[in-house]
């Protein structure tokens, strides 16, 4: 009889009670992100938890929230492969308006530029992936991306990298750059797609 313990799963799903913790994890992970710094004009420490909570709640209802087994990394996926959950998106938009209050003009400029670059066909959108500071360079982000590739399958996956360093990271996981997003008087982002298994 084999009594060896089964290995822990590398990536696990998320329950709703964990969303507050994960919103603070993302807040810490993106504390020095150049896009966040521009969007919130240096107020990201105060604004981030509510901002990320809105996306986490949307993904919980209309996508997937996955985390590493040790809880130090999280990926926020939005499902754009079929019909949108209208109630989930209305709730998201209301929560987001509160989160960006006072910074609406910058958010609207950023959101418009990002929407223009989004794929027009069915795809999964990786809205955010983050690792708790102090736990980087341990492969947590890679674990999340490799796991996602198992269920994304032949569907397209899309993301926006916020730095050239991250472009290189995502390239190692099968994503390819598809141009740039330039926000007027704002940051530059790098949209990337992963075609999916069996696609050219």
Does some domain include residue 84?
A: yes
Q: Would you state the pLDDT for residue 136?
A: 63
Q: Based on the structure, what is the number of domains in the chain?
A: 1
> How many Cα atoms within 13 Å fall on the side-chain side of residue 108?
6
Average pLDDT over residues 157-178: 95
Q: Would you state the pLDDT for residue 12?
A: 78
Does some domain include residue 61?
A: yes
Q: What's the domain range around 133?
A: 11-155
Provide the mean pLDDT of the chain. 90
Q: Which tokens is 7 given? A: 């290995």
Nearest CA to 58 out of 98, 100, 22, 93 is that of 93
Entry pTM: 0.90
Does some domain include residue 29?
A: yes
Q: Would you state the pLDDT for residue 105?
A: 96
CATH number of the domain residue 92 falls in: 3.40.630.30
- For the beta carbon of residue 90, count every other beta carbon within 10 angstroms: 11
Does some domain include residue 93?
A: yes
């Amino acid at each position: 009889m084999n009594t060896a313990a089964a290995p822990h799963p590398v990536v696990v799903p998320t329950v709703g009670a964990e969303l507050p913790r994960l919103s603070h994890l993302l807040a810490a992970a993106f504390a020095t992100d150049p896009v966040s710094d521009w969007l919130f004009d240096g107020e990201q420490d105060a604004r981030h938890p509510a901002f990320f909570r809105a996306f986490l709640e949307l993904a919980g209802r209309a996508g997937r929230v996955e985390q590493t087994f040790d809880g130090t990394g999280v990926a926020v996926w939005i499902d754009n492969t079929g019909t949108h959950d209208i109630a989930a998106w209305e709730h998201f938009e209301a929560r987001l308006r509160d989160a960006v209050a006072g910074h609406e003009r910058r958010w609207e400029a950023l959101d418009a530029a990002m929407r223009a670059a989004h794929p027009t066909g069915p795809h999964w959108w990786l809205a955010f992936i983050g690792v708790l500071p102090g736990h980087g360079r341990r492969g947590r982000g890679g674990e999340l991306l490799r796991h996602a590739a198992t269920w994304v399958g032949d569907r397209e996956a899309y993301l926006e990298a916020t730095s050239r360093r991250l472009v290189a990271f995502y390239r190692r996981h099968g994503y390819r750059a598809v141009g740039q997003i330039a926000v007027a008087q704002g940051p530059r982002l790098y949209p990337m797609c992963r075609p999916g298994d069996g696609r050219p």
